Chains A and B, each alone.
Chain A
């Protein structure tokens, strides 16, 4: 039981990071980003390949993932944001599909559809602390390591929350929101929209990459199935459900999106149908929210 709760809770933290970072781009930046999962994949594969296959220290996976995500989000975001805003969603969607296709087909690097198994849990505070936890709570070493990993993920999620919160409440965040509300007015103040939008995209990409690395450690496995477009839409549902431009909302939205399939599982819906039912419920939620409650559960506070 404790293993199940830990698994769901850690997964929730990863989803909170994805939702918060997508909210920065969609909610605060007003850009419909449909390629968020690509950066999750870059982090996951950086960790999978460097740590899982090559046996490097786990920090390498995180750092290489972040650097690659920053670079690629710059390369994709800069040209895409220079042109008409509507094209942004198609470019980001196309980018994510290219990443998924490469992950599926570049077998010598990524092992393709077989995925990368046996990615170890990071040895965080050396083994000794693991032993202490294991003795104190009378659980096995494996579970102790899982508990430690949960706290590590919690730390990452908290850091992401703080970074995004500080960013959106800073002068930078106010200009970003100004572009969302009135592009021409913000331009007339001499601000460059591309700079603000690309930087928010890059921050979001880095956080998604960390979430991907965490996910690779957490599942001890990473494969291209994690990178389907529908996952990006689920993150989008969490953002919209909680409220565009509401960070607290994102946490709640992520919780709803992660916990619903678990509830379905308890209602003994067959596992083949869970995926499709989840899609059905969430896509319907997306349409109905847009029609009747576009602000989501938590409206963004409007400062006078």
Chain B
């Protein structure tokens, strides 16, 4: 085990944490928004993200990253809409267990379709000629800066939408008090659909970003990311949009510190361990108090 000695290691960990943290946060937002309204963990959300990553793989020769992000957002938004309409909506009002089992089914279904189409092995995203920028002895590529910028732009857009638009206000009302919101005439079905579409679009964008960051995709990245992003959402207080922002970055930084200190193979386990600790110590999350309304 190495000890963290210099500033540069800490800086590098912080930079790496910010790159993937934005991606975690984008996926966590989908969990938290759906949970806010339906009080249900959309287990298939990680798989929508995985589909986004495969969109990046397919389009890598034709489009540059930000263009793929737009296409993936469109495709994944459509996918989210289909999942909601076909699998979840007919179950409205049924037992919670039925919902959860369906979500597990949808998740494995998407994974097996992608496996049949692309195979179970790694698919490589060829590196683009990104410039390496050094800050002290820490480094970041121009591609990674673009990843951070795209993630931030999407988060700011979501913030504006949730705060100022009519639909955003209605969504906040629904997650604040479902029954009252319904009574005053907020169209629940339409907004549920909107939340699924928006959450899936963000996951799709995140999928493209992670594909470029890790330069490889496999059908199992959905489940991996699913647990991390869910942990981020729980850490921030599930149902809280701003909690999910912060949770995403925190989990990513903790994971990077852990990856630095632990033997290589174990870094995947960090998010799970964090999840279990949060649930033991503070299951309502860090910011449940005032972030609850958002």
A pairs with B: yes
Given A97-B227, A240-B101, A291-B91, A283 contacting B234 (CB threshold 8 A)? no
Given A276-B116, A280-B113, A95 contacting B91 (CB threshold 8 A)? no
Residue in B87, B94, B263, B279 whose beta carbon sits within 8 Å of that of A294 in the complex:
B94
Interface size of A by CB at 8 A reads 45
Distance in angstroms from B187 CB to nearest chain A CB is: 24
By DSSP majority rule, is chain A's interface helix, strand, loop, or mixed? helix
Whether the Cβ atoms of B102 and A94 lie closer than 8 Å is no
Interface string of B216-236 (1 = CB under 8 A from A): 000000010001001100100
Residue in A86, A90, A233, A291 whose beta carbon sits within 8 Å of that of B96 in the complex:
A86
Is B178 among interface residues, defined by CB-CB distance under 8 A?
A: no
Distance in angstroms from B99 CB to nearest chain A CB is: 8
Whether the Cβ atoms of B272 and A95 lie closer than 8 Å is yes
Whether the Cβ atoms of B109 and A280 lie closer than 8 Å is yes
Is A204 among interface residues, defined by CB-CB distance under 8 A?
A: no
Distance in angstroms from B95 CB to nearest chain A CB is: 8
Given A90-B41, A95-B276, A283 contacting B97 (CB threshold 8 A)? no
Distance in angstroms from B25 CB to nearest chain A CB is: 18
Chain B contacts for A79, CB-based, 8 A: 276, 279-280
Chain B contacts for A46, CB-based, 8 A: none
Whether the Cβ atoms of B108 and A86 lie closer than 8 Å is no
Of the listed stretches A6-14, A98-106, A134-142, chain B binds: A98-106
Interface size of B by CB at 8 A reads 45
Residue in B96, B97, B102 whose beta carbon sits within 8 Å of that of A286 in the complex:
B102
Chain A contacts for B230, CB-based, 8 A: 90
A102 to B279, CA, bound (A): 21
Of the listed stretches A26-34, A52-60, A117-125, A255-263, chain B binds: A26-34
Residue in B43, B106, B234, B263 whose beta carbon sits within 8 Å of that of A87 in the complex:
B234
Residue in B95, B111, B120, B272 whose beta carbon sits within 8 Å of that of A94 in the complex:
B272
Residue in A76, A229, A236, A282 whose beta carbon sits within 8 Å of that of B223 in the complex:
A229
- Report the nearest A residue to B35, measured CB to CB: A86
Is B112 among interface residues, defined by CB-CB distance under 8 A?
A: yes
Is A284 among interface residues, defined by CB-CB distance under 8 A?
A: yes
Is A143 among interface residues, defined by CB-CB distance under 8 A?
A: no
Residue in A26, A95, A283, A291 whose beta carbon sits within 8 Å of that of B90 in the complex:
A291
Distance in angstroms from A237 CB to nearest chain B CB is: 8
Chain A contacts for B283, CB-based, 8 A: 83-84, 87
Given A94-B275, A290-B91, A236 contacting B101 (CB threshold 8 A)? yes
- Report the nearest A residue to B280, measured CB to CB: A79
Chain A contacts for B269, CB-based, 8 A: 97-98, 101-102
Q: Which of A274-294 contact B (CB under 8 A)?
A: 275-277, 279-280, 282-287, 290-291, 294
A97 to B87, CA, bound (A): 27
Chain A contacts for B227, CB-based, 8 A: 90, 93-94, 97
A89 to B102, CA, bound (A): 13
Whether the Cβ atoms of B96 and A91 lie closer than 8 Å is no
Chain A contacts for B105, CB-based, 8 A: 233, 283-287, 290
Whether the Cβ atoms of A279 and B111 lie closer than 8 Å is yes
Residues of A within 8 A of B (CB): 26, 30, 32, 34, 76, 79-80, 83-87, 89-91, 93-95, 97-98, 101-102, 104-105, 229-230, 233, 236, 240, 244, 273, 275-277, 279-280, 282-287, 290-291, 294
Residues of B within 8 A of A (CB): 39-41, 43, 87, 90-91, 94-98, 100-102, 104-109, 111-113, 115-116, 120, 223, 227, 230-231, 234, 263, 265-266, 268-269, 271-273, 275-276, 279-280, 283
